[in-house]
Structure 1
Amino acid sequence: MAVYTTDHSEGVLKTHLWRTAENSAAYLLPHIRPAMNILDVGCGPGSITADLAQRVPQGYVTAIDYVSDPLDGARSLAASRGVHNVTFQVGDIHSLEFPDNTFDVVHVHQVLQHIADPVQALREMRRVVKPGGIVAARESAALSWFPDNEGISAWEELSDRMGRARGGNPHPGRYIHSWAEKAGFARDQITRSADSWCFSSDEQRAYWGGSMGQRATSSGYSQVAVGEGFATQETLDLIAQGWKQYREDGQGWFGILHGEILCRK
Structure 2
Amino acid sequence: MNKRGFVSRILQNFRKPEGFFGRMILWGMNTGHASLAQWGMSCLQWQPEWSVLDIGCGGGANLLQILQRCPQGKAYGIDISPESVTFARKKNKKYLGTRCFIEQGGVHRLPYPDYAFDAVTAFETVYFWGNLQHAFTEVGRVLKPGGSFLICCEISDPANKAWTGLVEGMEIHSCDELKAILSKSGFTDTVIFRTKKEELCLVSHRQTVRL
SS in 2 for 1:16: helix
Residue identity in the other structure for 2:137: R
Give 1:92 deviation, angstroms: 1.3
Give 1:171 deviation, angstroms: 5.2
Aligned to 2:129: 115
SS in 1 for 2:177: helix
Do structure 1's residue 57 and structure 2's residue 61 form an aligned pair? no
TM-aligned CA distance change 1:63 to 1:190, over 3 Å: same
- 1:21-170 to structure 2, matched below 5 A, reads 23-29=36-42, 30-79=44-93, 82-84=94-96, 85-141=99-155, 157=161, 159-163=163-167, 166-170=168-172
Residue identity in the other structure for 1:195: T
TM-aligned CA distance change 1:261 to 1:56, over 3 Å: same
Aligned to 1:191: 191
TM-aligned CA distance change 1:195 to 1:25, over 3 Å: farther
Residue identity in the other structure for 1:16: M
Q: Does the Cα contact within 8 Å between 2:156 and 2:172 map onto a contact in 1?
A: no
Aligned to 2:30: 17
Give 1:174 deviation, angstroms: 5.6
Residue identity in the other structure for 1:78: N
Q: Deviations over 1:74-97 (max 9, x none)?
A: 111113xx4441011011101111
SS in 2 for 1:94: helix
Highest RCO, 1 vs 2 (Cα 8 Å, sep ≥ 6): 1
Give 1:25 deviation, angstroms: 4.4
Match of 1:175 among 170, 177, 180: 177
Give 1:35 deviation, angstroms: 0.6
Q: Does the Cα contact within 8 Å between 2:77 and 2:102 map onto a contact in 1?
A: yes
Give 1:184 deviation, angstroms: 2.0
SS in 1 for 2:164: helix
Q: Does the Cα contact within 8 Å between 1:140 and 1:172 map onto a contact in 2?
A: no
Distance of 1:102 and 1:114 partners within structure 2: 24
The size of the alignment, in residue pairs, is: 184
Stretches of structure 1 that go unaligned for 5 or more consecutive residues are: 144-155, 197-255
Distance of 1:92 and 1:14 partners within structure 2: 21
Distance of 2:134 and 2:64 partners within structure 1: 26
Distance of 1:168 and 1:142 partners within structure 2: 12
Structure possessing the higher radius of gyration over alpha carbons: 1
Residue identity in the other structure for 1:5: Q
Distance of 1:172 and 1:71 partners within structure 2: 29
The structure carrying a bigger helix percent of its residues is 1
TM-score by length of 1: 0.62
Residue identity in the other structure for 2:67: A
Q: Does the Cα contact within 8 Å between 2:27 and 2:59 map onto a contact in 1?
A: no
Identical positions, percent: 21
Residue identity in the other structure for 1:161: G
Do structure 1's residue 263 and structure 2's residue 204 form an aligned pair? yes
Farther-moved stretch of structure 1 (96-105 vs 171-180): 171-180
Coordinate RMSD, CA, aligned: 2.4
SS in 1 for 2:200: strand
